[in-house]
Amino acid sequence: MAETDTSNTAPASRPAGRYRWTIVALLFAATVINYVDRQMIGVLKPTLSKELGWSEGNFADVIFYFTMAYGLGFLVFGKLMDVLGARRGYALAFLIWQAAHIGHGLASNLIQFSIARFALGIGEAGNFPAAIKAVTEWFPARERAFAIGIFNAGSNIGAIITPLLVPLIALNFGWRAAFVVTGVVSLVWLVAWLAVYRPPAHHPRLSTEERAWIEQDGEVQQSVIPWSAVIRTRQLWAFALGKFCIDPIWWFFLFWLPGYLGDRYGLDLLSFGPPLVAIYLLSDVGSVAGGWFSSRLISRGMSVNRARKTTMLICAAAVLPIFMVQSVDHLWGAVLLIGLATAAHQAFSANLYALVPDLFPRAAVGSVTGIGGTAGALGGMVMAKYAGFVLDTMNSYAPLFAVAGTAYFVALACVHGLSPRLRQVRFEARAAPAGA
């Protein structure tokens, strides 16, 4: 095992072809669906709590089981993406999570809901390992952060659609119908994915020029790299600890933000839609801008190491004002501060994900993403229990916003401390399996 300095990228000719952006569009659509399915429980929290008699602790337990399954699923699907490939692995994950999502509509008590949520977590965990694997196959290093930022923006679009669409279905047809209808309609994506996606080397619609652009980094494909080799690298732990720090913050926003807006500003199932839309629109801007900014710095000659970390430092600083949100009495002032924080999170996240192909060969990308996702889920489990405890005992969101304001500096310190120059790991070369 050796290391290669990735601090600079060689200049290349102008981009050729655009088919790779079709792949990003599919990844974007899947991430939208992923987050609609994920966030519905947050939007429906007031309704479910009233109808099923949940306390804050009960709600936190449901989130805890989802997060536990999500962590386990990341380990499983991270490895499966390297074994099955993005096409088959993504299809399998999507089927599991849609079946579980529809199953929410059949739940009648806390235990049944927790089981459905656990199954959803297993399936949804496949989304990011598959998407990062696909981006690694379809994009050169200089474009990956931008591509990741675009598909990652789907999480915000999903979070925008959910408070607009789900209350309408729930109020007219009941909350059970909201799960069933959104799940059945989403199966259209699976048909499109299986029809369109192939690895670049085997894709009939990819031009020779665009294939050359994709392969400009000259990486030699290896066989699947075992976890025993991956887990011994400092680079893995740089990514995993970064995920452990920041993923719980995003999940806090996703699951508890509707409740916070309702408690603090007296909003209900319909009226908290516009503020959530504004917050996640800002998040979309952050996701794309964060990926674009570091990619732009690299294209102007800045090292990958400096470009990624400069962008992440700016993002960490942009989250800090969240400390003040509890003292803001005007709803839209709070929306601005929360939106700035969520935008900075998404920009930071896009660059953190881009570190995986920066630091590891393609054959290890799925496994590394899966292990990092599991670390993020472990952090999310801690956050879920902490949030339930704080809200039940203190009835205050201030400690939660305090954690959110500092987490990104800690994450960046972990990344820089463990990989100060972003040296790429080179494992012992092996022959790649046929028919990836």
Give every CB contact of residue 190 below 8 A, 6+ residues apart in sequence: 91, 94, 95, 98
Q: Do 81 and 130 contact (CB within 8 A), yes or no? A: yes
Token output for 321: 């004002």
Closest CA to 68 of 127, 121, 128: 121
Q: What pLDDT is stored for residue 229 in this prediction?
A: 87
Q: What is the mean pLDDT of residues 270-289?
A: 85
**Cα separation of 142 and 10, whole Å?**
10
Residue 38 vs residues 33, 120, 121, 158, 161: alpha-carbon distances, Å:
8, 8, 9, 9, 12
How does pLDDT run across 295-305, given as a tens digit for each residue?
899 989 999 99
Q: Determine the 3-state secondary structure of 423 from DSSP.
A: strand
Q: What is the DSSP string of 21-45?
A: HHHHHHHHHHHHHHHHHHHHHHHTH
Local structure of 233: helix, strand or coil: coil
Quickly state the pLDDT bin for 142 (edges 50, 70, 90): confident
pLDDT of residue 420: 95
Please give the average per-residue pLDDT across 376-395, as a whole number.
87
Residue 55 or residue 334, greater confidence = 334
First to last CA, the chain: 23
- Residue carrying the six token digits 């031009």: 207
**116-136: average pLDDT:** 92
Distance CA 332, CA 191 (A): 41
Name the token pair of 354: 């881009």
The answer to whether 313 and 290 have CB atoms below 8 angstroms apart is no
| Across 22-46, average pLDDT | 90
Q: What pLDDT sits at residue 315? A: 97
The CA distance from 171 to 194, in Å, is 35
* 348: three-class secondary structure by DSSP: helix
Q: How far apart are CA 142 and CA 391, in angstroms?
A: 44
pLDDT at 432 over 50: no
- For 426, the 3-state DSSP assignment is strand
CA gap 257, 259 in Å, rounded: 5
Exposure of 434 in the CB half-sphere (CA atoms within 13 A): 0
**Contact of 247 with 380, CB cutoff 8 Å:** yes
* pLDDT tens digits along 165-206: 888 898 889 889 999 999 999 999 999 999 999 988 888 888
Specify the DSSP element, H or E, that contains 5: strand 2-5
Determine the average pLDDT of the residues in 139-148. 86
The C-alpha atoms of residue 273 and residue 275 are separated, in whole angstroms, by 6
HSE-CB for 73 with a 13 A CA cutoff? 28
Is pLDDT at 244 greater than 70 in this prediction? yes
The pLDDT tens digits for 320-339 are 999 999 999 999 999 999 99
Whether pLDDT at 430 is above 60: no
Compute φ and ψ for 216, nearest 5 degrees.
Answer: -65, -25
pLDDT band at 60 (very low <50, low <70, confident <90, very high): confident
- Tokens 């569009």: give the residue: 25
When pLDDT is averaged across residues 277-301 and rounded to a whole number, the result is: 89
pLDDT category of residue 30 using cuts at 50, 70 and 90: very high
Question: What is the predicted pLDDT for the residue at 435?
Answer: 39
The pTM for the full model equals 0.75
Average model confidence (pLDDT) for the chain?
87
Q: Can you give the pLDDT at residue 83?
A: 85
CA atoms within 13 A on the CB side of 365: 27
At 211 the three-state DSSP class reads: helix
pLDDT confidence of residue 287: 84
Q: Encode pLDDT of 79-112 as tens digits.
A: 888 888 889 999 999 999 999 999 999 988 889 9
**pLDDT-above-70 percentage for the chain:** 93
CB 145 within 8 Å of CB 354: yes
Quickly tell me which residue has 């085997």 as its tokens: 202
All structural domains of the chain? 19-216+226-420 (1.20.1250.20)
pLDDT score of 433: 42
pLDDT band (50, 70, 90) for residue 208: confident
How confident is the model at residue 235, as a pLDDT? 95
Whole-number pLDDT of residue 9: 47
